[in-house]
């Protein structure tokens, strides 16, 4: 069994721990007033379902359920999916004042080559003067990547917890 709880909700976290749950990782949310973009003519809009298949195939198997490939497959307009090279992103309604970066993934063999970085900069250029946000479902290990764009961690974060069920 897997659950998320706000880390600052100490009574809840302690209750879950007493019930046998262990903390797997911290899940961080971020805000960015704006992101300085770098335009790329190679960004293409793709079907959200195609992005969901990429997340199912290449995403971490222990992602929070809200950002899993099966959850992404159920997302529709006005959310939009984009691709640049081998990097893929899902964003909320780009017409809104704040855009939520809902998913960002690169095929494993192309990671650490700057493709996701170029995609984030290209999306920022496509939607200038927008605020950006990531909800508190982002594994903390992605913090260094996000900080370089000017994302600021939110004051509230979650912990992802796990309990082995014996059958």
Specify the CATH number for the domain of residue 132.
3.40.630.30
Specify the pLDDT at position 157: 97
Closest C-alpha to 137, from 160, 155, 117, 153: 160
Q: 23 in a domain, yes or no? A: no
Closest C-alpha to 84, from 120, 31, 129, 36: 120
Q: 122 in a domain, yes or no? A: yes
Q: 105 in a domain, yes or no? A: yes
- Domain with 155 in it: 29-160
Q: 89 in a domain, yes or no? A: yes
Determine which helix (DSSP H) or strand (DSSP E) holds 104, and give its type and residue range.
strand 98-106
Global pTM reads 0.92
Distance CA 59, CA 136 (A): 18
Q: 165 in a domain, yes or no? A: no
Per-residue pLDDT tens, the chain, 167 aa: give them.
999 999 999 999 999 999 999 999 999 999 999 898 999 999 999 999 999 999 999 998 888 999 999 999 999 999 999 999 999 999 999 999 999 999 999 999 999 999 999 999 999 999 999 999 999 999 999 989 999 999 999 999 999 999 998 76
Count the domains in the chain.
1
DSSP per-residue letters across 22-43: EEEEEEEEEEES-------TT-
């Amino acid at each position: 069994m897997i659950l998320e709880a706000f880390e600052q909700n100490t009574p809840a976290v302690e209750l879950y721990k007493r019930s046998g749950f262990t903390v797997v990782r911290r899940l961080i949310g971020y805000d960015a007033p704006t992101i300085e973009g770098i335009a790329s003519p190679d960004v293409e809009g793709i079907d959200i379902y195609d992005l969901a298949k990429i997340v199912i195939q290449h995403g971490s198997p222990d992602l929070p359920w809200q950002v899993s490939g099966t959850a992404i497959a159920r997302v529709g307009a006005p959310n939009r999916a984009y691709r640049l090279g081998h990097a893929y992103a899902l964003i909320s309604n780009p017409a809104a004042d704040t855009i939520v970066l809902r998913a960002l993934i690169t095929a494993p063999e192309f990671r650490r080559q700057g493709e996701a970085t170029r995609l984030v900069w290209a999306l920022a250029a496509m939607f200038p003067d927008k605020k950006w946000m990531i909800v508190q479902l982002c594994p903390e290990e992605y913090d260094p990547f996000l900080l370089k764009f000017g994302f600021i961690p939110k004051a509230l974060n979650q912990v992802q917890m796990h309990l082995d069920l014996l059958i």
